[in-house]
Structure 1
Amino acid sequence: MRGESTTGTFALSEKNSIPNNLHDSSISMASADLFKTPSLQLTDPQAQSQSSAESHVPFANRKNTSVTDAGAMAHLLKGCLGTGILAMPNAFKNGGLAFGLVGTLVLGTICAHCMNILVSSSQFLCRRTKTPALDYSNTALVAFETGPKAVQPYSSFAKWFVNAALCTTLYSTGAVYIVFIAQSVKQVGDFHFEEMKIDVRIYMLIFAIPLCLMCLIRNLKYLVPFSMLSNAFILISFAITLSYIFKDLPALSERRNLADPGQIPLFLSTVTFALEGIGVVMPIENSMKNPGHFLGCPGVLNISMGIVVVLYAVMGFFGYLKYGESALGSVTINLPTGEILCQVVKILIAAAVLFTYALQMYVPNKIVWEGLECYVKKGWQNTAQNTYRIGVVIIATCVAAAVPELDAIISLVGAVFLSTLGLLCPAVIETVTFWDELGPGRWKLWKNVIVVVLALVVLVSGAYSSIARIVETYSMQQ
């Protein structure tokens, strides 16, 4: 599921300032001493950035770097291949077969590129500041602190913005998970208890109880068994779902190649939601034995994202070909509920998402609580933290209950949050990091302007279309 590997994203505390007061539990005393040497002068960072970055390799000072290239690829695939892939047939419904296929490949390439430039910027900044490792938010912090003088005063805001974007993205994805769980189980429940027809919001309230209990777990090692079960359930569910999709496929001529223009924003935002796994990128790179192998061609990131994009395109193309205009927010919901095997899939995938939820909340809970902890009296910190964790689940459940349409909430989250975190932020960070080295004709600047414009188009048009869809759904119900 998306975000399972994001726990490493919060490696540095809030007390960061480059170079003298950078605090990172992963930085050794020897590497910390490098910040005090006269050789590191950041009063004119642009003049020294290139020579400093090229002459220093900080990766040797990293701790907890036990992940091999194969392990990094497995983590990246796990982080990117989540519930989003099940929404791809619905995305193709809003794009069409031909447009959906081309659009998925193009958006996948852009998303992979944004991951690449985020990591390359982080590695360059590690060399520039002689820092072993930087997570996402601290990459933004250091980029602005060592960037052009005009942006240096906004360095703290840059870090806050990335952390806020990360937290809101993961929290909003949690609401998507709750809708997904409730809708999947409701289908099976309605089939076996046809006379009752329990409202989907009742299922949300029921599942909020185990979600609250799981979110009280603060030690990651106790979440490992849940993650392992989730992985097994996902593999089984995917295999069975694909077997149904490839049965008795209709002719290509029965499906639209291009959807109505008004549906395209929903396609863009849904694909953005599905493809974005940028939250897992920096933790994986920071934990590798050979971080130099992460980028490049072929590199761990490019190979992994190539596999992800192809799988998403295949699922979307054939899922839409199979179910056409009836493709729902998750293709598993389209499976015939009357068959036992399909019921098993719906329950397994719901359980997989349920077991992933606590891991999804781990990072934002940690980030937010470390900012709130200083305001709570010591004797009340444990109670306050538990209350906060339960409150997060309750709020997510209320959001899910307010917008119980899976396809609408997926496209809304993709449009507003993942376009910002996955497209806009990496483009801005690269521009600031390499401001004096933007290439001939400053092509990197213009390229990143295009990415930022795309992010804003996805944000505005996707949010408008998603909200309009939600309003339309409520109007029809009334």
Structure 2
Amino acid sequence: MAKSDKAALLKNLAVEEDDFVPEPVVARVTPLRAAAPSGIQGAEAAIENMAAGPPKAEEDDANIQIAMDNRQVMPHSTTNMQSLMHLLKGNIGTGILAMPVAFLSSGLWTGFAGVLIIGIIAVHCMHMLVDCSHNLCRRKGIQSLDYGNVSEAAFDRGPERLRKLAVPSRIMINIFLAITQFGFCMVYIVFVSDNIKQVIHAFHSDDPDHRLYMVIIALVLIPYVFIKELSSLSIFSGFANILMFVGLIIVFQYILQDLPDTGSRPVFNSTATLPLFFGTAVYAFEGIGVVLPIENKMIHPEDFGGWTGVLNLGMVITTVLYTAVGFYGNLRFGDAVKGSITLNLPVKEWLYVLVKVMFSVAVFITYALQFYVPVNIYWPLIEERIRNQRLKFYGQYIFRAVLVLLTLCIAVLVPHLDLLISLVGAFASSCLALIFPPIIEIVTYTGENESISIGCIIKDVLICVFGFLGFVTGTFVTIKEIAATF
């Protein structure tokens, strides 16, 4: 191999720093790129292996184990505790504050059972995704894959008649990831505007319409999203986590006061509003996109799965928090509960005014993190068509500003926090969390030299049907409710 070719490959194989916001890769990841476990040394080893030919099947497990071990010397590998914190950060957001209104749509005890059921299924789907990633990494002789590339690899190594769907499946998952993150951004604008307006309105009753608040928030967001590097946002992200944690403690302290008897709330509300509950509950379990990036960056990835692993521990904590906020929030406020539990807090007591401001600041900060994903997917598609370097440089800033204004326009059209959350959850989150993982599992284990039981296929089909029914009914009912507000 020529030295120039080797240098070019070394450059391409350099390990890049990333964060734990899901980062779908538009270009197909080759086995050589993913096999670089430790910077330049790993790259040189990969080049020598390529020159010697593909690894033998019996060497795959050993090669992957070596790659896993090399994570310990990577500069940005994470400990188990750090990975748990990232997992909690990826799952706990505005969705938890909307759980009380979700319980209103379902009924108190129906919501309690529903969140547990959806949580168990969602966590099982996360395990499916991780297991398929491990299987496909072993078969392809690479270290790690992200969500979209797991799907591509599954179809590429699956039944021959399905292999033509490999690239389209990756593109579809990346599109839904972008839609989900874009939807979160719309929800954030509505959330911040509703809370800030309520605070100002409590002291100045002649304040402007909430849509003007959205415009002001969007104008402030535009220069904020000009920050391109996730590493530059890390300090803001840590500050947002502290605000969310302290705010949740104060919210619990308030909603647990003067609770009525559980018999005062309906066990089941109505089948007509049950799809709204589904959309909000699935929206709340928003972290499937961060599962593989977190596991891929762990020093000890073997501690991620299993009954007592990081994934189960993090999701048990998440599910308990969702259930508690939804149950006690709905029990405390009943039919008066609003789109976010923060809007039910007293408006003239400074402690609770501070909580509204804290959550607003935290969500505002998180906007840029969620915004990173759609930009990372769509801007490269535009950039590769631009030849003028000056236009390419300023074009990204224009593109970012246009995307913020687009989220503003949709937020202005649908300024109802509970309905917007339900729509994003039913339409996009249900596909990522409940529909795609069982399909990937079936395709992965029906490939060459693999096997899958009939019971597993039936289980996966049932999960797909459940997710699809929620997708259709949740989207339809939410759009119908939105149309009724005009």
TM-score of the aligned structures, taking structure 2 as reference length? 0.90
What letter corresponds to residue 189 of structure 1 in structure 2?
A: I
1:439 aligns with one of 438, 447, 452: 452
Q: 1:471 matched to which residue of 2? A: 483
Q: How does 1:73-222 map to 2 (within 5 A)?
A: 73-194=84-205, 196-222=206-232
8 Å contact kept, 1:59–1:133: no
What letter corresponds to residue 181 of structure 1 in structure 2?
A: V
Moved more, 450-459 or 21-30: 21-30
Q: 2:12 matched to which residue of 1? A: none
Mapped pair 1:268 → 2:268: no
1:9 aligns with one of 15, 23, 29: 23
Q: CA deviation at 1:136?
A: 1.1
**d(CA) in 1 for partners of 2:149, 2:421:** 28
Q: 1:315 matched to which residue of 2? A: 325
**d(CA) in 2 for partners of 1:145, 1:36:** 24
Q: Which runs of 5+ in 1 are unaligned?
A: 42-47
Q: 2:7 matched to which residue of 1? A: none
8 Å contact kept, 1:245–1:318: yes
**d(CA) in 2 for partners of 1:55, 1:434:** 21
The CA deviation string for residues 121-168 of structure 1, in whole angstroms up to 9 with x for no partner, is 111111111111111111111111111111111111111111111111
Q: CA deviation at 1:469?
A: 1.1
8 Å contact kept, 1:5–1:75: no
What letter corresponds to residue 464 of structure 2 in structure 1?
A: V
8 Å contact kept, 2:19–2:230: no
What letter corresponds to residue 473 of structure 2 in structure 1?
A: S
Q: CA deviation at 1:61?
A: 4.8
The CA deviation string for residues 41-66 of structure 1, in whole angstroms up to 9 with x for no partner, is 8xxxxxx6xx6765542423554552
**d(CA) in 2 for partners of 1:37, 1:184:** 62
Aligned length: 459
8 Å contact kept, 1:270–1:414: yes
Mapped pair 1:402 → 2:427: no
8 Å contact kept, 2:35–2:46: no
8 Å contact kept, 1:53–1:125: no
Query: Matched residue of 2:160: which SS?
Result: coil
Q: How does 1:315-334 map to 2 (within 5 A)?
A: 315-334=325-344
The CA deviation string for residues 416-444 of structure 1, in whole angstroms up to 9 with x for no partner, is 0000111111111111111154533x222
Q: 2:9 matched to which residue of 1? A: none
Q: 1:158 to 1:225 in 2, by over 3 A?
A: same
Query: Matched residue of 2:98: which SS?
Result: helix
**d(CA) in 2 for partners of 1:330, 1:26:** 45
The CA deviation string for residues 320-352 of structure 1, in whole angstroms up to 9 with x for no partner, is 000111111110111121222211111111111
Q: 1:392 matched to which residue of 2? A: 403
Q: 1:45 matched to which residue of 2? A: none
**d(CA) in 1 for partners of 2:20, 2:35:** 20
Q: 1:113 to 1:81 in 2, by over 3 A?
A: same
Q: 1:302 to 1:419 in 2, by over 3 A?
A: same
**d(CA) in 2 for partners of 1:298, 1:158:** 32
TM-score of the aligned structures, taking structure 1 as reference length? 0.91
1:455 aligns with one of 467, 483, 486: 467
Q: 1:464 to 1:53 in 2, by over 3 A?
A: farther
2:363 aligns with one of 327, 335, 353: 353
Query: Matched residue of 2:384: which SS?
Result: helix
Q: 1:149 to 1:330 in 2, by over 3 A?
A: same
Q: CA deviation at 1:22?
A: 6.8
